[in-house]
């Protein structure tokens, strides 16, 4: 772990509460049950969640790493997080979208450390170069200290005109760098049309990796500006029964669509050009990732892969 990470009030939040419905056909085949993809061993013998924990371990202390989970998945994460204390498990009564989960964690962390910087990291992505990812996150943690009222979103170099990803259109350059330039965000494009994706690719726009980093206070301001009723409701939650009651009546909130797109002027984008990031959202994309990187996990059935070949 770097000295900078030790000295900072740096927290990680691993997002592991999703349902993984789009990949259920594949994960059912691999695991034989209905576990979401983050708890499934898509690469090697370890789950995506385990790979994520290993990837971020050099950056964040274990006692400042939270895991956002859903109570419905307890049988799947129980063993994988056996050494993680209950205080570091943010167990939601249900899945109400990334926005609700992240707002809950921001308020949880602020109660413990009002000077915290927070990195939100999905647990179901693939990185061909984990060290490059770590370098990018370390750079983002350094940059937010210079811009404490802003939040950094990590954007990956786009390789093709993907229509299922969110895209980031960079604006004015704040920190010029050959490796990790920092720019203001001009606009977000969520799942563009094929024609628009072609244009975004030509213009050098970036894929939204969803890795988002900033001071906890800056995140709170984002939520207060875009979903004020949610932040106010979460402030009054002090126990499990109140959490159950709140989740029974609140609507889902998509962080990218509602929060990021609603507060663009507060955002910066840090370019990640070397980690080989991939969102494993569909079976086609998983199989394409395996093929491109020469990976052959034990579950791989060549006949099944051939039958489902197509767009990544």
In a domain, 164, yes or no: yes
Among 179, 176, 190, residue whose Cα is nearest residue 98: 190
In a domain, 295, yes or no: yes
Q: What percent of the chain is modeled with pLDDT above 90?
A: 78
Which band of pLDDT confidence, cut at 50, 70 and 90, is reported for residue 8? low
Q: 3-class DSSP state for residue 60?
A: coil
CATH number of the domain enclosing 177: 3.90.550.10
In a domain, 36, yes or no: yes
Q: What is the pLDDT of residue 169?
A: 97
The 10s digit of each residue's pLDDT in 159-182 is: 999 999 999 999 999 999 888 999
Which band of pLDDT confidence, cut at 50, 70 and 90, is reported for residue 29? confident
The 10s digit of each residue's pLDDT in 205-220 is: 999 999 999 999 999 9
- Residue 251 has phi, psi (to 5 degrees) of -85, 160
Q: Are 123 and 38 in contact (CB under 8 A)?
A: yes
Q: What is the pLDDT of residue 189?
A: 94
Helix, strand, coil share of the chain (percent; to 5): 45, 20, 35
Q: What is the pLDDT of residue 300?
A: 84
What is the total count of domains within the chain?
1
Residue 98 has pLDDT above 60, yes or no: yes
- Residue 252 has phi, psi (to 5 degrees) of -70, 150
Q: What is the pLDDT of residue 173?
A: 96
Among 235, 216, 222, residue whose Cα is nearest residue 115: 216
| CA pair distance 296, 50, nearest whole angstrom | 18
| CA pair distance 61, 49, nearest whole angstrom | 17
Task: List strand residue ranges (DSSP E) for 72-192, in order.
Answer: 89-92, 117-122, 125-126, 151-157, 166-175, 182-190
**What residues pair up with 32 in beta bridges, in sequence order?**
none
- Residue 91 has phi, psi (to 5 degrees) of -95, 115
In a domain, 312, yes or no: no
Residues 6+ apart with CB under 8 A from 226: 258, 259, 262, 263
In a domain, 245, yes or no: yes
Q: What is the pLDDT of residue 310?
A: 46
Q: What is the pLDDT of residue 21?
A: 86
Query: Does an H or E element contain 272, and which?
Result: strand 267-272
Domain membership of residue 83 as a residue range: 3-307
Q: What is the pLDDT of residue 239?
A: 87
102 against 43, higher pLDDT: 102
The 10s digit of each residue's pLDDT in 288-303 is: 999 999 988 888 864 3
In a domain, 247, yes or no: yes
Q: How many CB atoms lie within 10 A of CB 89?
A: 16
Residues 6+ apart with CB under 8 A from 9: 64, 113, 115, 116, 117
Which band of pLDDT confidence, cut at 50, 70 and 90, is reported for residue 22? confident
Q: Are 188 and 264 in contact (CB under 8 A)?
A: yes
Q: What is the mean pLDDT of the chain?
A: 91
Among 265, 263, 292, 266, residue whose Cα is nearest residue 277: 292
């Amino acid at each position: 772990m770097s000295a900078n990470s030790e000295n900072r009030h740096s927290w990680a939040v691993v997002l592991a509460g999703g349902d993984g419905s789009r990949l259920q056909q594949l994960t059912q085949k691999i695991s034989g049950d209905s576990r979401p993809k983050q708890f499934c061993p898509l690469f090697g013998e370890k789950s995506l969640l385990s790979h994520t924990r290993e990837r971020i371990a050099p950056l964040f202390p274990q006692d400042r790493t939270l895991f956002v989970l859903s109570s419905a998945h307890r049988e799947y994460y129980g063993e994988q997080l056996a050494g993680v204390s209950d205080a570091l498990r943010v167990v939601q009564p249900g899945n109400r979208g990334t926005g609700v989960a992240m707002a809950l964690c921001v308020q949880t962390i602020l109660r413990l450390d009002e000077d915290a910087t927070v990195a939100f990291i999905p647990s179901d992505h693939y990185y061909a170069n984990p060290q490059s990812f770590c370098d990018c996150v370390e750079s983002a943690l350094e940059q937010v200290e210079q811009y404490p009222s802003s939040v950094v979103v990590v954007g990956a170099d786009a390789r093709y005109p993907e229509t299922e990803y969110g895209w980031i259109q960079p604006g004015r350059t704040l920190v010029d760098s050959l490796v990790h330039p920092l720019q203001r965000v001009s606009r977000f494009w969520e799942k563009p049309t094929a024609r628009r994706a072609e244009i975004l690719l030509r213009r050098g726009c970036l894929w939204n990796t969803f890795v988002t980093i900033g001071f906890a206070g800056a995140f709170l301001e984002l939520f207060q500006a875009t979903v004020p009723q949610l932040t106010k409701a979460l402030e009054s939650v002090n126990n499990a029964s109140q959490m159950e009651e709140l989740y029974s009546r609140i609507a889902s909130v998509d962080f990218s669509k509602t929060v990021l797109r609603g507060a663009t002027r507060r955002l910066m984008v840090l370019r990640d050009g070397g980690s080989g990031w991939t969102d494993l959202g569909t079976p086609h994309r998983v199989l394409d990732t395996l093929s491109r990187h020469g990976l052959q996990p034990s579950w791989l059935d060549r006949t099944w892969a051939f039958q489902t070949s197509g767009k990544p």
